[in-house]
Chains A and B, each alone.
Chain A
């Protein structure tokens, strides 16, 4: 799988500069404060930190689901500040893949149809090719036999893998995962970790994953630690 959009050859894939997000409540709530971060293509980054430290908030900002109060995000070398809703949606669809703690599959759709959803929304290839590709992705995640099942006919681990498959649908350059193994047992969790690991190693996909699991974090290339909305530690595995 290759990145959907041309990657700036030298610069980082994702770049956050003094990223700050403050909720404008009566007593303003700071979710993320002055976060500087650059993620290169093909990196596997784990984001750790205590509960409430702003990990999810950072991920939403990087995934253009939320907009920063200050600072800036550059995606594939291009600034994102001036983009309108549709342009941001388009960028998410074509270059980003999301995996959340909860699977968020459409309950009435089969695994295959759920995986095809982002492809159909993007509409770059024909129906037959979409179907073929969806089944190939599902098969690569060990779900070949479950393509025709609806979410309620699958186990939690299988559902989460379908969610990963959906994130891969448009061959995104970056996968953003928020506790993808959080709701899974150890074995299923390991499976999903392996899957992400393989994507990085085999396909050169970039993964940024929030996790509470020390094993998961230990298996990543790089670990970012957050406390109180700030990045306090950023270490690369030797």
Chain B
């Protein structure tokens, strides 16, 4: 064993109880840091996963990114027109089939058309507003996981009734409708339609489960009072992470506004980033507090061992060597704390992961989403070691700089 290591070991052993307290401090910090990282990242990944799986990656609507340009403005650069009532465009995406065919030519993924319209749904005297999404049962499974998220019935059940509808699980519960119930749908400015519930879906995304009704495209077109209307196209990409770029290209090519899933949930995602920063700060604070314990024990030892330090220096040990002894002591505490803390963190993750909860979040998970990642352990350990090293270095430097003569005089 090296001399430095041997002396460091005897010091730590001589102060076993205090060193243990310091180790426990670091372990607690590391343990909770790991647990929090696992929980924070776990819930984020879980949520993003749910979004990415449940919803289309890109939604192309019939909105145009820029307001309508008047013909006169197109002609004369300096013209500015006021007080005009702009030409009211017919709703929907023009030539939907041709557009889809063109996009399918280059886009790495699947496309499905949809017809969106708002309705008031009534059942047994209760009214709720909902979004009707008219879909093509053949194409829909390629862009959303609706097909696999059916609790009752299938997408194809839509063909079974004249006006079949699939209800979100929360929506169905809210109005008390079941498969086979006859509900009525009232679009704004249009006549009421009777429809039959042919299936219940549960996407796991609260807003969708609470306010969406799936029908055949044809049914939705009747509700919107426009035959042939397609006002939305939905895309599923092989790689959801390129959605933003693809959406930009679609907008450029079609002139309609395409929004990627991450743009649509920008606020949520930036809330996640904020939460991430807060987590980092908190973990930093925990580990900083833990390193105070290390600082404390190492500086206690350096005071206690002032005589030994003086004699070692007078015998001819270099300042650097003496400093290393105490930094090593801090690192030993840090390493033991990190090892113990990793176990603690893992245990906490297992424990939290085993608990069942009823969350009222955006998704309806019942267990804490815990992400197990070696990176959490490596990072927490590295931070613990670095902060312990710093906590040890400060008293170590002071101790190593001490003039041996003063102490030797004092002791003789």
Asked whether A104 and B316 contact (CB < 8 A) given A109-B10, A120-B3, the answer is no
How many residues of A are in contact with the other chain, CB < 8 A? 31
**Other-chain residue from B3, B10, B311, B408 in contact with A108 (beta carbon distance below 8 A):** B10
Asked if B319 and A104 make an inter-chain contact with CB atoms under 8 angstroms apart, the answer reads no
Residues of B within 8 A of A90 (CB): 316, 318
Would you call B149 an interface residue if the criterion is a C-beta within 8 Å of the partner chain's C-beta atoms? no
Asked if B316 and A56 make an inter-chain contact with CB atoms under 8 angstroms apart, the answer reads no
Asked if A104 and B318 make an inter-chain contact with CB atoms under 8 angstroms apart, the answer reads no
Stretch at the interface among A68-76, A91-99, A136-144, A221-229: A91-99
Asked whether A85 and B318 contact (CB < 8 A) given A106-B7, A109-B10, A117-B3, the answer is yes
Residues of A within 8 A of B310 (CB): 104
Asked whether A86 and B7 contact (CB < 8 A) given A100-B412, A104-B311, the answer is no
Asked if A118 and B315 make an inter-chain contact with CB atoms under 8 angstroms apart, the answer reads yes
Residues of A within 8 A of B314 (CB): 63, 65, 92, 98
**What 0/1 pattern do residues 305 to 329 of B give for CB contact below 8 A with A?**
0011011111111111100000000
Asked whether A104 and B317 contact (CB < 8 A) given A65-B405, A109-B10, A117-B3, the answer is no
B308 and chain A: residue at smallest CB distance: A106
Residues of A within 8 A of B311 (CB): 104, 106
Asked if B3 and A121 make an inter-chain contact with CB atoms under 8 angstroms apart, the answer reads yes
**Other-chain residue from A85, A120, A166 in contact with B319 (beta carbon distance below 8 A):** A85
Residues of A within 8 A of B312 (CB): 117, 121
Interface residues of B in 288-338 (CB under 8 A from A): 307-308, 310-321
How far, in whole Å, are A118 and B316 apart by their CA atoms in the complex?
8
Residues of A within 8 A of B11 (CB): 108
How far, in whole Å, are A109 and B3 apart by their CA atoms in the complex?
11
Would you call A188 an interface residue if the criterion is a C-beta within 8 Å of the partner chain's C-beta atoms? no
Q: Which one of A104, A108, A109, A178 has the highest number of Cβ atoms from chain B below 10 Å of its Cβ?
A: A104
Asked if A93 and B316 make an inter-chain contact with CB atoms under 8 angstroms apart, the answer reads yes
Residues of A within 8 A of B14 (CB): 108
Main secondary structure of the interface of B (DSSP, over half): helix
How far, in whole Å, are A109 and B11 apart by their CA atoms in the complex?
11
Asked if B316 and A94 make an inter-chain contact with CB atoms under 8 angstroms apart, the answer reads yes
A106 and chain B: residue at smallest CB distance: B308
How far, in whole Å, are A158 and B333 apart by their CA atoms in the complex?
36
Asked if B405 and A178 make an inter-chain contact with CB atoms under 8 angstroms apart, the answer reads no
How far, in whole Å, are A91 and B317 apart by their CA atoms in the complex?
10
Would you call A101 an interface residue if the criterion is a C-beta within 8 Å of the partner chain's C-beta atoms? yes
A163 and chain B: residue at smallest CB distance: B311
How far, in whole Å, are A24 and B405 apart by their CA atoms in the complex?
16
How far, in whole Å, are A89 and B409 apart by their CA atoms in the complex?
19
Would you call A198 an interface residue if the criterion is a C-beta within 8 Å of the partner chain's C-beta atoms? no
Residues of A within 8 A of B13 (CB): 108
Asked if B315 and A91 make an inter-chain contact with CB atoms under 8 angstroms apart, the answer reads no
Q: Give chain A nearest CB distance to B252 CB in angstroms.
A: 68
How far, in whole Å, are A122 and B317 apart by their CA atoms in the complex?
8
**What 0/1 pattern do residues 173 to 210 of B give for CB contact below 8 A with A?**
00000000000000000000000000000000000000
Asked if B412 and A91 make an inter-chain contact with CB atoms under 8 angstroms apart, the answer reads no
Asked if A66 and B405 make an inter-chain contact with CB atoms under 8 angstroms apart, the answer reads yes
Would you call B404 an interface residue if the criterion is a C-beta within 8 Å of the partner chain's C-beta atoms? yes
Residues of B within 8 A of A66 (CB): 405
Q: Give chain A nearest CB distance to B402 CB in angstroms.
A: 12
Asked if A166 and B315 make an inter-chain contact with CB atoms under 8 angstroms apart, the answer reads yes
B313 and chain A: residue at smallest CB distance: A89
Asked if B10 and A100 make an inter-chain contact with CB atoms under 8 angstroms apart, the answer reads no
Q: Give chain B nearest CB distance to A169 CB in angstroms.
A: 9
Asked if B405 and A60 make an inter-chain contact with CB atoms under 8 angstroms apart, the answer reads yes
Residues of A within 8 A of B7 (CB): 106
Q: Give chain A nearest CB distance to B329 CB in angstroms.
A: 13
Residues of B within 8 A of A65 (CB): 314, 404-405, 408
Residues of B within 8 A of A94 (CB): 316
Q: Give chain A nearest CB distance to B41 CB in angstroms.
A: 45
Asked if B315 and A121 make an inter-chain contact with CB atoms under 8 angstroms apart, the answer reads yes
**Other-chain residue from B3, B316, B411, B412 in contact with A89 (beta carbon distance below 8 A):** B316
Asked if A86 and B319 make an inter-chain contact with CB atoms under 8 angstroms apart, the answer reads yes
Q: Give chain A nearest CB distance to B27 CB in angstroms.
A: 26
How far, in whole Å, are A117 and B314 apart by their CA atoms in the complex?
12
**What 0/1 pattern do residues 396 to 412 of B give for CB contact below 8 A with A?**
00000000110011011
Q: Give chain B nearest CB distance to A113 CB in angstroms.
A: 8
How far, in whole Å, are A98 and B310 apart by their CA atoms in the complex?
12
* Further contacts, 11 of them, CB under 8 A, given A107-B308, A120-B3: A56-B409, A65-B314, A85-B318, A90-B316, A92-B314, A92-B315, A96-B316, A106-B10, A108-B13, A121-B312, A179-B412
What are 17 residue pairs bridging A and B, where the CB atoms are less than 8 Å apart in the complex? A60-B405, A60-B408, A66-B405, A86-B320, A89-B319, A92-B314, A92-B315, A93-B315, A94-B316, A102-B411, A106-B7, A108-B10, A108-B14, A109-B10, A117-B3, A178-B412, A179-B412
Q: Footprint of A on B, CB under 8 Å? A: 3, 7, 10-11, 13-14, 307-308, 310-321, 404-405, 408-409, 411-412
